[in-house]
A = this chain, B = another copy of it.
Amino acid sequence: MDDTVAALFRHTREQSVAFCSALCNEDYGLQAAEFVSPPKWHLAHTTWFFETFILKPHADGYRTPEPLYEQLFNSYYNGIGEPFPRPRRGLLSRPTVSQVLDYRAAVDTAVQALLDDATHAARREILGRAVLGVEHERQHQELFFTDIKYSLAINPLLPAYAPGAPIPGGEPPPLGWRGHAGGLLEVGFAGPGFCFDNELPRHRVYVEPFELADRLVSNAEYQTFVDDGGYRRPELWLADGWTTVQEQAWRAPLYWLERDGEPLEYTLYGAVPRSTGAPVCHVSGYEADAYARWAGERLPTEHEWELAAQAAAAPSGGVDSGHFHPRPATGGPGLQQLYGDCWQWTRSAYGPYPGYRPSPGAIGEYNGKFMSNQWVLRGGSCVSNSGQLRPSYRNFFYPRDRWQFSGIRLAKLSAAQ
């Protein structure tokens, strides 16, 4: 198992750098909004995580290349000190990209040495934190994709991250429903292997019988909502959602464009014709909720989603598949598009499971302190790390957020109810 950790570490560290290799040097510093981070910052912060939580406590004689990195690349761990202000991450031209890669190399060497030291007194904690660091970096790899997409999209030149084009696909099959009997059941992580603290403790919940849509809502279906005045009818919206629609002047999903009357969508391949069959993506939780209300349905709860996913096929897809845009559903016997296309908004507020306990110390700030005002999303997207797809994974964002690959799966109570 120890060898696995070392291999996983190496692989993940290399993967992060590889994902950036399509960029030009100038892109590494881009931060087009407070809620995104520059690629260079992701590269440095994930390094900082290993340095802070493994090397500084456990690597004798380790010397940081620059003491100020402790502040510059701290994200939000108040237990470590006051982080550099988030909205200014894009203003750090120094350290340069090259210096950050050197920082990565230095930390990698030191971590590798620790992982190779089978007799280290703190071996158990080192291995545990290395795994956490890898999982942390996998999450930042996904953020890298969502953030650079957002930052490139504001440039009128609409640069592409990747060559090529989205997988076209055709029209999806008609939307069908899959029932679940509900009952007093268990949710939360249960397997061997890694999970985040917010997936624990596994616990019982009582759920009424329900049905889930067997695929995601498509662009064409969402267009019907738009054409029906979806963004102009307050009765379809939560009050805070309606306020946001007005303030932000939302009229369509985040990356929908028109040029000379032709519907386009900005993707990691640049601006391309908008696929009618592809799932609608980059909608906020408010838009997902309004669409569901307009359709006469609702969003699932996170428990419903997880119970259905427990009974479904094993996860597949994600960024290892090598495509950077969600694909149209193709049909099949069970629930389609659970993973690997768009995250799915639930109507569940993100909160602690009964008996939840964060880790002690600064590392306990990882998940627990965000358990207010955010909504849970379930599943995974085309840019998720394939190793993180599982039924119990809880993603969470503010309901106003749109820059993640977030889509819509409908739900309803079973008709028998």
A residues at B contact (CB < 8 Å): 24-32, 66, 68, 71-72, 76, 78-79, 84, 88, 90-97, 151-152, 154-157, 159, 184, 203-206, 208, 234-235, 237-242, 285-286, 289, 298, 347-349, 351-352, 354-355, 364-365, 369-373, 375, 399, 413, 417
Contact = CB atoms under 8 A, between A and B. Distances in A.
Query: Could you say how many copies of this chain the assembly holds?
Result: 4
Given A241-B372, A369-B238, A26 B25 contact: yes
A68 to B, nearest CB: 5
Nearest to A234: B78
Contacts of A285: 372
A30 B38 CA distance: 13
Nearest to A71: B156
A235 B417 contact: no
Contacts of A354: 208, 413
Contacts of A413: 354-355
A289 to B, nearest CB: 8
B94 A159 contact: yes
A357 to B, nearest CB: 10
Contacts of A289: 372
Contact of A157 (B68, B79, B155, B417): B68
Given A24-B96, A88-B154, A94-B155, 10 more contacts: A25-B25, A26-B93, A26-B96, A27-B94, A30-B93, A71-B156, A91-B155, A184-B206, A237-B369, A285-B372
Nearest to A399: B372
B157 A235 contact: no
Contacts of A155: 91-94
Nearest to A28: B26
Nearest to A412: B355
Nearest to A30: B93
A71 B155 CA distance: 11
21 contacts: A25-B26, A26-B94, A31-B91, A66-B157, A79-B235, A90-B90, A91-B151, A92-B155, A93-B159, A94-B155, A205-B206, A206-B206, A208-B354, A235-B365, A238-B370, A239-B370, A347-B351, A347-B352, A349-B351, A372-B375, A372-B399
Contact of A29 (B29, B84, B241, B355): B29
B25 A238 contact: no
A224 to B, nearest CB: 22
A372 B91 CA distance: 31
Contacts of A90: 90-91
B239 A24 contact: no
Contacts of A373: 240, 373, 399
Contacts of A91: 30-32, 90, 151, 154-155
A84 B152 CA distance: 15
A83 B27 CA distance: 22
A372 B290 CA distance: 12
Contacts of A238: 369-372
A372 B241 CA distance: 9
Nearest to A365: B235
Nearest to A355: B413
A149 to B, nearest CB: 13
A50 to B, nearest CB: 21
A188 B299 CA distance: 21
Contacts of A30: 91, 93
A364 B181 CA distance: 30
A144 to B, nearest CB: 15
B204 A156 contact: no
A139 to B, nearest CB: 16
A159 B93 CA distance: 9
A90 B32 CA distance: 9
